[in-house]
Structure 1
Amino acid sequence: MGKRAGWLACVTQTSTSSSETARWTPAELAQLCRIDEISVSSRRPDGSLRPGVTVWAVPLDGSVYVRSAYGPENPWFRRARRAGRGRIRAGDLEREVSFELADHTEGFLVDAAYHAKYDRFGPRIVGDVVGEHVHHLTLRLTPAADEH
């Protein structure tokens, strides 16, 4: 539990980004750290939500990241990129979010976050979401400023 507690303390720091951008609260980041899987739903062109897809998520330095384990053609990933907005659910946490490709320079830091949170599931499974081959499949989830 010691390693896990250190991980929790590390990721619950809030970002120092612009005040114009909505931020994750420390409580939300802590919850996202404790929960292994989240549901990600993208918005259709008419604004309705698509059914949720279960993915792993990692909080890191005040931001939250998800990756497509099965390549850029994975339907949920394509739809999230195209829509640019949607909703996540993690336990009792539900937030409108925007989806944006993470900066390629964040790839190895996000890898480390995935390792710290998910290595207990084994290298074969975690290997699908870490490494340079998936850095371009990393989405940053930003809370929407205008909650519905």
Structure 2
Amino acid sequence: MPTWTEEELTRIGSAVELDLESERGDGSLRTPVTMWVVRAGDHVYIRSVKGRGGPWFRGVQTRRQGRISSGGVRKSVTFQEADASERSGADAAYREKYGAYTGIVDHVLTEQARESTLRLVPRS
């Protein structure tokens, strides 16, 4: 399975935002959606503030793959459900990275948002 390089992890982890284009059923890419992104260890995570019912999250479920762009890294990825055990690490990463956005960061830390945590895995 492909993995992120240290340079990619650093660049994505340092970027404020990520643009996500999920694949439709026919393989074409949807319009990019901009969101927050965090690095926790050797993994990259995103979440939907609106939880599993959020529009972009529902779109990701079609094929569970797409393309991301963040920190100068442009990569095809697979979207994998993060295990419940991974959520606390992502929570800490969100608090550390976006804590200056008092009040706003709390929206990605609700149980609804936590349940939508996706791990981004690079594709070959």
Fold-level match, TM-score > 0.5? Answer: yes
Q: For 1:73-112, what aligned pairs fall within 5 Å after superposition?
A: 73-112=53-92
Is the contact made by 1:108 and 1:131 (CA closer than 8 Å) also made in structure 2? no
**1:59 counterpart residue number:** 39
Identity of aligned residues (%): 40
C-alpha distance in 1 between matches for 2:79 and 2:13: 19
C-alpha distance in 2 between matches for 1:79 and 1:73: 10
C-alpha distance in 2 between matches for 1:50 and 1:121: 28
Is the contact made by 1:111 and 1:131 (CA closer than 8 Å) also made in structure 2? no
Aligned partner (choices 104, 107, 110) of residue 128 of structure 1: 107
Number of matched pairs: 124
Q: For 1:1-148, what aligned pairs fall within 5 Å after superposition?
A: 21-122=1-102, 124-145=103-124
Task: Show CA shifts across 1:91-142 (max 9, x none).
Answer: 42100000011001111111001001100111x1001101434221100000
What's the Cα RMSD here?
A: 1.1
With over 3 angstroms needed to count, the CA separation of the structure-2 counterparts of 1:129 and 1:112, relative to structure 1, is same
What TM-score do the two structures reach when normalised by structure 1? 0.80
Is the contact made by 2:51 and 2:115 (CA closer than 8 Å) also made in structure 1? no
- Quick one: which amino acid aligns to residue 100 of structure 1? Q
- Runs of 4 or more, structure 1, over 3 Å off, are none
Q: Which runs of 5+ in 1 are unaligned?
A: 1-20
What TM-score do the two structures reach when normalised by structure 2? 0.94
Of structures 1 and 2, the larger Rg is shown by 1
Three-state SS of the structure 2 residue aligned to 1:36 is coil
Q: Which runs of 5+ in 2 are unaligned?
A: none
With over 3 angstroms needed to count, the CA separation of the structure-2 counterparts of 1:29 and 1:113, relative to structure 1, is same
